[in-house]
Structure 1
């Protein structure tokens, strides 16, 4: 069992300058046994973008994220409430920037993988569910992920920033029952 830290408070881009990481609270981590068609999923590298197909625009609510270390990769899983399939874009960015405010976002790591979940339910929408998980995770024992943090939810786009020790290959795919989005970042 790995031991890590979870960011307990939310991040906001309301202040000038880079947004800062909230206070860290210790927590335990367990490997994630998310079954799925992993072998069939495409792998992307630095300079590539992973994009899902068109979604149902049903307004799934991202509610939290979990982290696990596997033999060949680190895995981040984003949990959802609601009906439908999540849609996303994912790519490495030189400057993590929050949508809406335009503020840069401080993320631990040499490179940052930005994942944007599109078509997310807004808190004011009927049947929307609030994010109830930690605002971020700082693993103390991982292969490559140094920090994963929730960015802005703006006009139906939920940002996540994943700080990594180096820009390694990654894959992103959705799973059902329950609905979740999986981000694997391969070890060097």
Structure 2
């Protein structure tokens, strides 16, 4: 496992990687696929696979999507429903947020099992785009205090969604803190809450498995696809 040193201050400075494509920026480290301007995603069909209801969020029924940019004709982003949106890899991923007030708020977490992968969806509202810091760590911890957090599983994927805000900024309820039951290869998802622009969560798994992180729009979502063995 990759050891992760707890910061004294929860804000983490990350460096966005610059893609060589003209007018496009983001990261592809570890399978991330992002663009600026953001992806516009339209649902077309329900996915193949069995989904399981989580608490307090809904069952993941995140559909096959089509993607369009400002300069191209819409094309299938996930043409095969039983394949992850990104390219799974066991690596850390960093993506800088795009700041627009009010920043995004994480409103729910959903977990769904598919034939070849398990999907964790973070639902958001707000303007701008969230960023993220993701990597496997030895021991989950609480922001601010640094206290250990007990998460079910043998491997722990930290998903720190950056550039996020508190519920009062939107007059809307945020995602509940605490554990969310898993399915597939996900034992549990634990939301520690939001602190100084970081919504820190952990995905408890049976082992360190390849994963990808993808940003989707309309509605705004961060999707983590974890490949089965």
Same fold (TM over 0.5): yes
Distance 2:177 2:132 in 1: 20
Mapping for residues 51-130 of structure 1, pairs under 5 Å: 51-56=94-99, 58=101, 59-125=103-169, 127=170, 129-130=172-173
Partner of 2:188: 147
1:3-37 C-alpha deviation (Å, 9 max, x unpaired): 4552x6xxxxxxxxxxxxxxxxxx98454325263
* Deviation at residue 157 of structure 1 after TM alignment: 0.3
Partner of 1:170: 211
Distance 1:40 1:62 in 2: 20
Distance 2:151 2:106 in 1: 20
Query: CA separation of 1:64/1:176 partners in 2, compared to 1, >3 Å: closer, same or farther?
Result: same
Distance 2:134 2:97 in 1: 15
Tell me how many residue pairs correspond in the alignment.
Answer: 164
* Deviation at residue 185 of structure 1 after TM alignment: 0.8
1:2–1:28: 8 Å Cα contact kept in structure 2?
A: no
TM-score (norm 2): 0.63
Distance 1:61 1:107 in 2: 23
Distance 2:188 2:113 in 1: 13
Distance 1:161 1:138 in 2: 12
Query: CA separation of 1:165/1:186 partners in 2, compared to 1, >3 Å: closer, same or farther?
Result: same
Distance 1:61 1:28 in 2: 17
> Which has the larger displacement, 128-137 or 111-120?
128-137
Match of 2:65, SS state, is coil
Distance 1:67 1:176 in 2: 18
Query: CA separation of 1:128/1:60 partners in 2, compared to 1, >3 Å: closer, same or farther?
Result: farther
* Deviation at residue 180 of structure 1 after TM alignment: 0.5
Is the strand fraction higher in 1 or 2? 1
| Residue segments in structure 2 that go unaligned for 5+ positions in a row | 1-49, 67-76, 79-83
2:53–2:111: 8 Å Cα contact kept in structure 1?
A: no
Distance 2:51 2:163 in 1: 33
Match of 1:103, SS state, is coil
| Residue segments in structure 1 that go unaligned for 5+ positions in a row | 9-26
Which is higher, the Rg of structure 1 or of structure 2? 2
1:81-129 C-alpha deviation (Å, 9 max, x unpaired): 111222111111101011111111100000010100111113453x353
Distance 2:171 2:162 in 1: 15
